[in-house]
Amino acid sequence: MNFGKQLKEGVITNNPVLVQILGMCPTLAVSTSLFNGIGMGICATLVLMCSNLVISLLRNIIPNKVRIAAFIVVIAGFVTCVDLLLKAFVPALSDSLGVFIPLIVVNCIILGRAEAFAYKNPPLASVVDGLTQGIGFTCALTILSVAREFLGSGTFGGGLIDVSNGFHIVLGGADGIRILPEGIGASLITQPAGGFLSLGIFIAIVTFLLKKSEEKAAKKEATK
């Protein structure tokens, strides 16, 4: 197990959103504010870590023919726990994310890591894989959320930062810090079409940078 390598893969070279192109539904739907982006990322990361751990522990017990059904049962249990915890302690986030919390059950990232990694590797490595992939998912959501919120609404930290009476970190109901004058932002960016456009641009940028990095590494290797 190499934590640094797994972290690099999860955040950059094998990012679940920007490279693997997984988890598109929540990515496009909730990435309209910093509060939503971070909240969804943390929830998915917790489910990833816990489900990877349990699936790894049971990998020698779960019959191969019913593994997908077993994965869904395990994931659904943890999603239910996260959903109930949000409703109890962070109701504003629960209301904001809505149906996309229960839909984590069928999130391709969660099922994909269960199938590709947790079912084939020991518990500790599986937990680390869930953590690093979750961090990558959270980073992608956060970057996309900040960009869409800024360009669409002209603000930063919507739902999370309250400046109406000083500077406060809150959980829901805050307008954020206004950076552009009201009415300047392109509201299309916060709509579904804007989500597709923004995500496509970020994927193109990451693909270009990774390709350049690979070419540079190949040239460096060739000169040795």
Classified as helix, coil or strand, 168 is: strand
Averaging pLDDT over each range in 122-126, 166-170, 220-224, which range is the top one?
Answer: 122-126
* Cα dihedral across residues 3, 138, 199, 158: positive or negative: negative
Beta strands in the chain (DSSP E): 155-156, 161-162, 168-169, 177-178
More confident: 221 or 9: 9
Give me the chain's average pLDDT, please.
91
Band the pLDDT of 165: cuts 50, 70, 90. confident
Q: What is the pTM assigned to this prediction?
A: 0.91
CB 78 within 8 A of CB 46: yes
Band the pLDDT of 180: cuts 50, 70, 90. confident
Report percent pLDDT > 90 for the chain.
Answer: 64
Q: Which of 5, 86, 93, 6 is nearest to 46 (CA)?
A: 86
